[in-house]
Amino acid sequence: MVRLFLTLSPAIPRFNLFPGISILATKLRTKTPAFSLISPSSSPNFQRTRFYSIGTRIYYSLPNSENSNFDDTLVVLGIETSCDDTAAAVRGNGEILSQVISSQAELLAQYGGVAPKQAEEAHSQVIDKVVQDALDRASLTEKDLSAVAVTIGPGLSLCLRVGVRKARSVAGNFSLPIVGVHHMEAHALVARLVEQELSFPFMALLISGGHNLLVLAHKLGQYTQLGTTVDDAIGEAFDKTAKWLGLDMRRSGGPAVEELALEGDAKSVKFNVPMKYHKDCNFSYAGLKTQVRLAIEAKEIDAKCPVSSATNEDRRNRADIAASFQRVAVLHLEEKCERAIDWALELEPSIKHMVVSGGVASNKYVRLRLNNIVENKNLKLVCPPPSLCTDNGVMVAWTGLEHFRVGRYDPPPPATEPDDFVYDLRPRWPLGEEYAKGRSKARSMRTARIHPSLTSIIRADSLQQQT
Ligand code: KG4
Ligand code: ZN
């Protein structure tokens, strides 16, 4: 059985504030919180016993905070702008108090994908409103916050900058600590918010528009990367398939392909499963994209003719391609996950759970197929609800809180920063170190502009702390 965990809201209202940009907002709590709002500096648990700096970051340690109900007293604002969603959420009183998402639906449809400059402008237009809405819906003001968490990478620099600038301005004006969050760690850790049983170590498959990661999560901030994509991620393949099939891209390509696939015969078009003979856990979706494009050309499908206006036969052809693509794209995930689970169990035999998260994890077929694989290996699948699989502010607030309560954060920035201030953005930022068995030559060739992994930074911090 696929475990569908706690859905935060049965129906999230969507409304338009700016032309071409829709806002998804939820009020998840109706009462004012019945708890005292503390800032870390006033908390009895908070002792600035030591601090140390790694690169541009300074961390303080918060002794004994892990064993207390410390996090229930913390209120964290999370901000996410790494790609095409402008999102904010507030976590406090041990629950999610609000979440707001503004998605760039019309832009996606217009450009058939994310155009960085236009995405940056769209983020800039709505960021103040999104953050204000998140605070209002939580019935809080900035003064009630304990910290601000923000995605600093990986993602599009132009887009990341909008969120980081806003987070630093809130933190600077209200003297709040700030936590820089790794977007992919946030996709993985949000599962711990919805599944209380999920403790480290666990495995995670993180599947989104730009990433296809298989990781072993040893503990907070400590990951071994078992596999990644050598070219495109599965979400990119869904998006291009949708575009070439003339589908409505306003909800992104994935949901449109998933819906049309229900009408098709998944065995009618023969696509090869990628990297079948590579005995590792890496992925490749570029070749499958090409196979799909060729199949579309062979059936003379015109992407300019929307599927809603297609003849019955044309629509059936498109549905067959959608279904066949989805089956093979997911078979590729299944094969690599099976091997990755074996590798992970060799490294950490106590693993009980496999998390599947990221936008593509909201796909029902993906969840069903991966659940079979995971159950056959005697593990439990944990899939966050779809609203927490796709990009959102909740995962950032939650991950910020997880790091904050163990003392990993930056001190408040200055209230005003010069216009030419250089933000610490990490557009290419690995989560963990590659597992030696899974290394691929192609990737090791292009390590030049990559930031040191989150895991290596935190490990270096811990070592320094011990000395
Ligand atoms: O995690 P996410 O929201 O943003 C990134 O970090 O990239 O993932 C977005 C990706 C897009 O490629 C979108 O097409 C895909 O997730 N996606 C889906 C579904 N919903 C979103 N793919 C397949 N089926 C879905 N239902
Ligand atoms: Zn994402």
- HSE value, Cβ hemisphere, 13 Å, CA-based, for 230: 18
Question: What whole-number distance in Å separates Cα of residue 149 and Cα of residue 39?
Answer: 14
How many whole angstroms from 214 Cα to the centroid of ligand 1? 16
How many whole angstroms from 305 Cα to the centroid of ligand 2? 30
**Residue 242: both structure tokens together:** 């949708």
Question: What whole-number distance in Å separates Cα of residue 422 and Cα of residue 451?
Answer: 16
Question: What whole-number distance in Å separates Cα of residue 370 and Cα of residue 282?
Answer: 16
In this predicted structure, what is the pLDDT of residue 445? 53
Ligand 1 mutation target, pool 240, 250, 252, 383, most atoms within 8 A of CB:
252
Specify the residue for token string 């911090």.
461
In this predicted structure, what is the pLDDT of residue 71? 63
pLDDT, tens digit (0-9, with 9 covering 90-100), for 221-274: 999 999 999 999 999 999 999 999 999 988 899 999 999 999 999 999 999 999
Ligand 1 mutation target, pool 390, 392, 394, most atoms within 8 A of CB:
390
Quote the DSSP letter at residue 320. H
Class of residue 297 by CB neighbours under 10 A (exposed 0-12, middle 13-18, buried 19+) = exposed
In this predicted structure, what is the pLDDT of residue 140? 98
Amino acid residing at 28: L
Q: Given the CA of residue 252, which atom of ligand 1 is nearest to it?
A: 14
100 forms beta bridges with 25, 88
Question: What whole-number distance in Å separates Cα of residue 171 and Cα of residue 146?
Answer: 10
How many whole angstroms from 210 Cα to the centroid of ligand 2? 8
How much is the pTM?
0.87
Specify the residue for token string 């004994």.
64
Question: What whole-number distance in Å separates Cα of residue 200 and Cα of residue 350?
Answer: 9
In this predicted structure, what is the pLDDT of residue 57? 37
Q: What is the largest CA-CA distance in the chain?
A: 71
In this predicted structure, what is the pLDDT of residue 54? 25
Q: Could you tell me the sign of the dihedral formed by the alpha carbons of 84, 85, 86, 88, in that order?
A: negative
In this predicted structure, what is the pLDDT of residue 442? 59
Question: What whole-number distance in Å separates Cα of residue 258 and Cα of residue 237?
Answer: 12
Spans of the chain below 70 pLDDT: 1-71, 440-448
- Collect all residues with Cβ–Cβ distance below 8 Å to 442 and sequence separation of at least 6: 230
Specify the residue for token string 């409304």.
15
Nearest partner of 431 among 132, 214, 119, 237, judged by Cα: 214
Q: DSSP states of 138-150 as a string? A: TT--GGG-SEEEE
Residue 107 host element (H or E): helix 105-111
Residue 53 host element (H or E): strand 51-54
Task: Decide: 210 in ligand 1 pocket, CB within 6 A.
Answer: yes
- Collect all residues with Cβ–Cβ distance below 8 Å to 146 and sequence separation of at least 6: 37, 38, 39, 40, 73, 74, 75, 76, 176, 177, 404
Task: Decide: 241 in ligand 1 pocket, CB within 6 A.
Answer: no
Quote the DSSP letter at residue 161. H
102 forms beta bridges with 23, 86
Cβ-based neighbour number of residue 31 at 10 Å: 7
Cβ-based neighbour number of residue 101 at 10 Å: 27
How many whole angstroms from 257 Cα to the centroid of ligand 2? 19
